[in-house]
Amino acid sequence: MTRFEVEVEKDGKLYQATAKVEDGMLTVSSVNLGSKSASVSSNNNVLAKLLLNELIRNAG
């Protein structure tokens, strides 16, 4: 299992989450926003930011 932090700035606010790669899945989790998963990609950092952006969009 691999874990890393991911950050996205949107509308002047910084959002942070933890990303985890396990069993072919990338899961981005935030205490305030929830979690979202997708199959791993060739660039998990970019995918993690996309997933965090989706969480932000769904929260608003």
Element containing residue 7 per DSSP (H, E): strand 2-10
Mean pLDDT of 14-27: 97
pLDDT tens digit sequence for 26-56? 999 999 999 999 999 999 999 999 999 999 9
Domain that holds residue 13: 2-59
Mean pLDDT of 6-33: 97
The number of domains in the chain is 1
Q: Say what the pLDDT of residue 12 is.
A: 96
Q: Say what the pLDDT of residue 10 is.
A: 93
Is 60's pLDDT higher than 80?
no
Q: Which residue has the tokens 């998990």?
A: 44
